[in-house]
Amino acid sequence: MLSVSIPPPQCLKKPLAVPHRHMFGPGPSNVPPRILEAAAKPVIGHMHPEIFEIMDDIKSGIQYMFQTRNIMTFAVSGTGHTAMECAIFNAVEAGESVLTAVNGIWGERAAEIAERIGGRVNTIVSPPGGFFTNAEIEQALLKYRPVVFFLAHGESSTGVLHPLEGIGELCHKYDCLFLLDCVASLGGAPLCMDEQGIDILYSGSQKVLNAPPGTAPISFSERACQKIFNRKTKPVSFFLDLKWLANYWGCDDKPSRIYHHTGPVNAFYSLRESLAVFAEEGLENSWKRHKKVAEYFHTGLESMGLKLFVKEKKARLATVTTIVAPHGYNWKEITNYIMKTYNLEISGGLGPSVGLVLRVGLMGCNSSETSVDMVLAALKDALKHCHKSKV
């Protein structure tokens, strides 16, 4: 007979304690009570007809958020990284050419993922805070002839909102799929998948959507599906294989859905509710609100003598603002002081922007002048109390 030699951990005998915080970093953002309550509804089977109805609602909501009529639209079970891998694993085969635009960490990540599965990866690189001209993109498309071009719409590590006009047409001119990451921009900046010629678009639930992390909206155009469903080899991941996911989400023409994996049903509830919130507000109203609040924030920062990291106004991401790290201060001391004193999260840089910036995220329900005033007051207090070097 087996004997239990490891005792129950003492830590689990204490009740779960989670503090309330103002989540004003680059994500996740605060989750409104309405969405939390939706997530707490009873668990039902992942193959029950009621969950299929909820999944269908989610598909419609994502089509609205993405502004697409693509049938192949659903939510991946996982975070935005999972959707990034889903896109690349399905669209790229070993030996194929891939072009990634690197102006922050997400281009770096996409390049590494494509390289890991055998893609021939080439990059165009811009310093943090910069973006690419269409001429630079076209030159690289002509030189490398990729099957996929990756770009981050909202580069949350640097605070850049990349212009999209004409890029879809360029990709199609060179028989290339346009893959766009909109994790940080969805709902906070104008984006229309079909109109802008985007072939694969993905996002995440935990930013502007204000749902808990764990689901990732994604959509594939007919052009993308044609390439993917005519692959010579199977995708490297069974879990992220589009043929299986298409059936699980009812996106194919099969009469019934077949078990693929156990979907996170409670996460589906919260995602469905967050999409309902956006349907009520309206996309255009959300875009305008985020823009107005970001401008109010930027004005307040500049009045304090702080500098914005992204020089060109048109390229500033409304959802995640990057502030030049104040000279003479340790950025970690600033973020730690604000967390300890105000229970409020802002963060430092990420990837190539580490040590260069402070990042403040005002997304979804957090995008308000009240939130801005809280952040400005906390920053002002931190700069007064944190040590400043005289060097």
Task: Dump the DSSP string for 119-172.
Answer: -EEEEEE--TT----HHHHHHHHHHH--SEEEEESEETTTTEE---TTHHHHHH
For residue 36, the model assigns a pLDDT of 97
Which residue's entry shows tokens 């605060």? Answer: 30
For residue 97, the model assigns a pLDDT of 98
Q: Strand pairing partners for 132?
A: none
- pLDDT-based confidence at residue 233 (cuts at 50, 70, 90): very high
- Distance, in Å, from the CA atom of 211 to the CA atom of 204, rounded to the nearest integer, reads 9
For residue 322, the model assigns a pLDDT of 98
For residue 390, the model assigns a pLDDT of 74
- Distance, in Å, from the CA atom of 367 to the CA atom of 90, rounded to the nearest integer, reads 35
Q: Is 136 left (phi over 0), alpha (psi -120 to 50) or beta?
A: alpha
pLDDT at 391 over 80: no
For residue 105, the model assigns a pLDDT of 96
DSSP 207-251: STT-PPSSEEEEEE-HHHHHHHTT-SS--S-STT-HHHHHHHTT-
Span 18-29, average pLDDT: 96
- Distance, in Å, from the CA atom of 308 to the CA atom of 378, rounded to the nearest integer, reads 17
Span 331-360, average pLDDT: 96
Q: Is the peptide bond before 212 cis (omega within 30 degrees of 0)?
A: no
Please report, rounded to a whole number, the percentage of residues in the chain having pLDDT higher than 90: 98
Span 180-199, average pLDDT: 98
- pLDDT-based confidence at residue 204 (cuts at 50, 70, 90): very high
pTM exceeding 0.75: yes
Q: Could you please state the CATH topology (level 3) that the domain comprising 22-28+283-385 is classified under.
A: Aspartate Aminotransferase, domain 1 (3.90.1150)
Contact 183, 174 (CB under 8 A): no
For residue 107, the model assigns a pLDDT of 97
Residue spans of the domains in the chain: they are 22-28+283-385, 33-279
**Could you say which DSSP state residue 329 is in?**
B
For residue 63, the model assigns a pLDDT of 98
- Average pLDDT over the chain, rounded to an integer: 97
Contact 24, 360 (CB under 8 A): yes
Class of 33-279 in CATH? alpha beta
Nearest 5°: the CA angle 354, 85, 92 is 115
User: Mind listing the pLDDT tens digit for each residue in 296-312?
Assistant: 999 999 999 999 999 99
- Assigned token pair, 101: 């635009």
For residue 144, the model assigns a pLDDT of 98
Q: Which helix (H) or strand (E) holds 345?
A: strand 344-345
Distance of alpha carbon 314 from the chain centroid: 20
- Assigned token pair, 287: 């875009």
pLDDT at 173 over 90: yes
Span 87-91, average pLDDT: 98
For residue 388, the model assigns a pLDDT of 87
Is 231 marked as a binding-site residue?
A: no
- Distance, in Å, from the CA atom of 344 to the CA atom of 19, rounded to the nearest integer, reads 11
For residue 21, the model assigns a pLDDT of 96
Nearest 5°: the CA angle 49, 218, 40 is 50
For residue 348, the model assigns a pLDDT of 96
For residue 44, the model assigns a pLDDT of 96
Q: Strand 148-152 and strand 97-102: pairing?
A: parallel
User: Mind listing the pLDDT tens digit for each residue in 104-127?
Assistant: 999 999 999 999 999 999 999 999
pLDDT at 160 over 80: yes
